[in-house]
Structure 1
Amino acid sequence: MGARFEELAWRETPLGAISLRRRRDPSLGVEVYEVKLDDEFLMSSLFPVAEIELARLGLAPFGAQALDVVVGGLGLGYTARTALADDRVRTLVVVEAVEDVIDWHRRGLLPFAAGLAADPRTRLVRADFFAAVAGPTGFDPDAPGRRFHAVLLDVDHSPRHVLHPSHAPFYSPGGLRRLAGHLHPDGVFALWSDDPPDPEFERVLAEVFRTARAHVVRFPNPLTGGESANTVYVAQR
C-alpha cells in the first residue's frame, strides 16, 4: 500500500496553479486521482461516468463509417480513452491547453489511462481549444482547415461557469457557428456540463445546429451515498 496522499505534479499556469494528486480513500478502499486548479477541484477518478458518456453519446449518432474525432480537454483521459475504444475512430486529436496535463499521460502517471498517449491514432496537441475554434488553422496544426466528424468538449464547468472569461464567447451563437465550421456535414458537437440542463443554452444550440438534446447522466456518489448528475449536450449539424 502506498502513501495516503501524494502530490504527483504541480505547476503554475495562466489559469492558475494546476495539480495532480493521488490519495487512498480508506472508507472506499481505492486510490483516487484528483485534479485541482488553485483550490478548486476540476475532476476526480471517483466520478468518471459522465466523461465516459460524453464520448459514447457524442459518437452514438454515427453509423459504421470511420470517424475523425477531436477531444477538447485531456484531463484524466476518460473521454479520450472511451473514444479510442470505439473501433470506428480512425484518428483522435486531443487539444489540451496545459502542457503538464499532456506530460502526465506521456509519463504514465494515470494507470487507468494507460495506452492513450501511445495509441497510433492519437495526437496530443498543446493548444487553447477556444483559440483554435476561432482561428483559421483549426484543431490540426499539420492540416489547417481540416474538418472532423465529432468534437467532444470538457473544459469548463458549464456554459455559464467558465474557467476563464475568454471562454465565454464560445457558448454564443457566433462561437458555436465557428465550431460548426470545423465539422463535416452531419458532424456532432458534444459538451459536458456540471450544471443541470440549461434551457437558454439549449436554445442557442438549436439556433446553430439541426438537432440538439440535453442528456442527464446520473451516477452513484460514493462520498454522499446518494446520486449525482451531470449533463451532456449533443448537437448535430
Structure 2
Amino acid sequence: MNKRILAICLAIFMALAVIPTGFADSSDQVVITYGETAYMNQQYKSIVDDYFASKTNVDINSIESKVVTAGDVNKISGGFSGKQYNSDQIFSSALLDLNQNGEITVEVDSSITTITPEMYMSALKSAGIQGGHVYVTSPVSATGESALAGIMNCYEEATDVEIPENVKEAANQEIATQAEILNNSNVSADDLSKLVDDVKEKVNEENITDHATIVNIINDYSTTYNINISDNDIENLAQTIEQ
C-alpha cells in the first residue's frame, strides 16, 4: 500500500474514531448521494428514498444529501476509459451509514446489474476507506459503475477528509476495468473479485511495482481459480493494480 493511501486510511480512521458514540442514531452520521438523473425525477427519487428508508432508522428527509452529476463522474472516469456520461445517465445512488461500526460492508440492490458488493469494497479500500456501511441502489437497472463517485463523496462529507483526485481515479479505474472484463468474458463477478483481491494483497504485501511481475501474478491466480481472461484484459488489470 503506497504512503498516500496509507495516510488517507489513517485520516479517515481518526475521523471515524472521534465521532461521539452518544450520537449513535444521529442523522449526522448518514449521508446520501443521488445520481443527478434520479434526483431530478420525483418518481425515481421516491424509489431511491423508499429503498434507503428501509435500510436505516433515520428520517430520510433529515439526512445530509448531495447530487452527483455526470461532470463529477466524468472527472474521475473519462481520463482512463474515455467513457463519458450524460446528465440523463446518472441513476445510481448511495447511502453511507457510519452508525454501524466495524469493517466496511456494502449492500447492493438488485437494480445494480454489474458491480458487486465485493468490487465496491475492494475499490473503496484502494481509496483508503475502511469502515461504515454502504447501500447502493438505482430506480432503474444500471451497471453501478457511476456509483463509486457518490460513495466516495459520502465519505468526504461524513468524515471531512478529502480523497485526492488521483486516488479517486485509481479506485474508479478498478471498478471500470473489472466491469470491462466481465463484459468481455464468461468469468463470474465473484471469481473476478476474489482474483483481484488476492493479487492486490500479494502486490501490497511484497511491495511489487514491476509490471511484468504483476502480470505473472495475475496469470498464476487465473490458473489457480480456472479463470480465462484475455491477455489484453490482464494487461489492463495489471495497470490498474500498479496504481
TM-score, length-normalised on structure 2? 0.29
> Highest relative contact order (Cα 8 Å, sep 6+), 1 or 2?
2
Higher strand share: 1
Higher helix share: 2
Q: TM-score, normalised by structure 1?
A: 0.30
